[in-house]
Amino acid sequence: MLIEDEKNFSRFVELELTHENYSVSVAYNGNDGLQLGMSEEWDIILLDLMLPGLDGIEVCKKLRENKKTPILMLTARDSVDERVRGLDCGADDYLSKPFAIEELLARIRAILRRQEDNKKEESRRLMVLDLEVNLDSREVWRDGEPVELTKREYDLLLAFMNNPNRVMSRELLLDTVWGFEAAVDTNVVDVYVRYLRNKIDRSKAKSYIQTLRGVGYVMKR
Ligand code: CA
């Protein structure tokens, strides 16, 4: 998404990006840009610093209150002060005008690549409170201390960590963890929750997994 008030310039950038197979939406002032930026999940926002209405810094600050969308700030002047202000308000990178379109494209690719790496990094780890799971190695830590779990205990823990704050009935847990081979009684869930608690909890009083009598279990974030 591009927020840029100079029509010729924004048209030029839009055409170049479209040519590179990006789909681009454009806002021509700070207020519209902010609204558009909030309304959807953009891959990246190119934000001009000098805008009528809200300026780029204000738009950036307001976006950052709610969104993690990568922001590339376009500054008209090559002034250190402007660049610092841009980065301080939460922009991921900046580019001073005039710039070569190749440089803009390279910056965009770099930001999107970083974003992709961050996502991958996040998706391989699960955290609830001080419980942490590495989904690749199936290792589990509590407060940095490794915890040894059997396959079933690990699967059960994952069922809870994938659904924090959601009340899980015994039937749902049986379905999720034991699957189709579940010609077993739902009591087995209670047994395994007990095994799991013995391994992850410090004290009985403060279990990660809480019992809701007659309903099921819940792991609160
Ligand atoms: Ca401008």
For residue 119, the one-letter residue type is K
Residues 86 and 137 placed together within one structural domain of the fold: no
Please indicate, yes or no, whether residues 102 and 8 belong to a single structural domain of this protein: yes
Q: How many domains does the chain have?
A: 2
CATH code of residue 25: 3.40.50.2300
Q: Are residues 113 and 187 in the same domain?
A: no
Cα of 139 from ligand 1 centre, angstroms: 51
Full domain range(s) for residue 159: 125-219
Residue 72 near residue 105, CB atoms below 8 Å: no
Q: What is the pLDDT of residues 24-60, one digit of tens each?
A: 999 999 999 999 999 999 999 999 999 998 999 999 9
Give the end of a domain, one of 123, 156, 183.
123
For residue 75, the CA-to-ligand 1 centroid distance in Å is: 8
Ligand 1 centroid–CA 97 distance in Å is 10
Q: Is the domain of 146 the same as that of 94?
A: no
Paired strand residues for 132: 127, 141
Q: What is the mean pLDDT of residues 127-132?
A: 92
* Residue 95: φ, ψ to 5°: -140, 130
The answer on 136 and 110 residing in a single domain is no
Burial of residue 71 (CB within 10 Å: 0-12, 13-18, 19+) is buried
Residues 52 and 16 occupy one common structural domain: yes
Ion ligand 1: residues, Cβ under 5 Å? 5, 48, 50
pTM value? Answer: 0.61
Considering the domain architecture, whether residues 110 and 135 belong to the same structural domain is answered as: no
* Beta strands at 139-142 and 131-134: parallel, antiparallel or unpaired: antiparallel
Residue with the bigger pLDDT between 121 and 198: it is 198
Q: DSSP alpha helices (H): ranges in 54-133? A: 56-66, 80-88, 101-123
